[in-house]
Amino acid sequence: GYLIRVPSNFPVSPALPQNFTARFIGVPNNGTLPLTIVHNPPAALNLIGNPYPSAINAVSLITDPGFNVNGNFLGGTIYLWSHNTNFNLATNQYEYNDYAIWNILGGVNTYYNGTLGAGNTNAPNGNIAAGQGFFIKTVASGTAYFRNSMRTGGTTNTNNNFYRSASASSTVDDDPTAAYEKHRIWLDISNNGNGYKQLLLGYIQDGTDGMDRLFDGEMVDNGN
């Protein structure tokens, strides 16, 4: 997936910018591709990426229709880094608020005040763009699979919602979860210290009162 970090000997001060050229080397993938999943609680997150030169349907990735393999290893929630706020020089940390989160119930966006960063402020909708890297919760170690049947290159606008630090498209893409009847409310919570969290509450077809792998997502937070 599209993920790069500048070497640590580069200056972190915005006043001392330097160019860094990153090389992404490889060939476009096709066909069924195995994916090694490592389940390591308590975080149990794996960083993976869309390996195809076209968008993939996240619903198909986590439900694996026709094969029913991926659900044994992959959780149902994905976390996309938007980089909407800059590196915090006081704490030497990035903002955990910059993870946009998606599962079949829906997506939540990340904070953006108009002056920091230039990432994607759209809520993810379940179309994972070509080369897009993301974290996903896991339930067990083993081998999951990417399959050509998950690819959505033949539909309109499914490859536009890409998350990175450069400017991004604001196109609202097709909703791959439209087959699920759902009723939802989004709550935005913020304060004067730039703290922000968007919360999605909803009722959805096949949902239960318990923790549902496909519909309930945990926050990524740093405990503050």
Concatenate the DSSP letters of all residues of 91-138 into one string: TTB--GGGEEEEETTEEE-----SSS-----SPP-SEE-TTBEEEEEE
- The band of 170, judged by pLDDT with boundaries at 50, 70 and 90, is very low
Q: pLDDT, tens digit, for every residue of 120-144?
A: 778 898 999 988 899 998 999 999 9
- The band of 3, judged by pLDDT with boundaries at 50, 70 and 90, is low
**Mean pLDDT across the chain:** 83
CB-based contact 56:50 (threshold 8 Å): yes
Strand partners, 189: 197
- Please state, for a pLDDT cut of 90, what percent of the chain lies above it: 44
- The band of 97, judged by pLDDT with boundaries at 50, 70 and 90, is confident
State both tokens at 159. Answer: 């490859």
Residues 83, 78, 170, 14, Cα dihedral to 10°: 0
State both tokens at 219. Answer: 């926050």
Q: What is the mean pLDDT of residues 27-42?
A: 93
pLDDT confidence of residue 58:
95
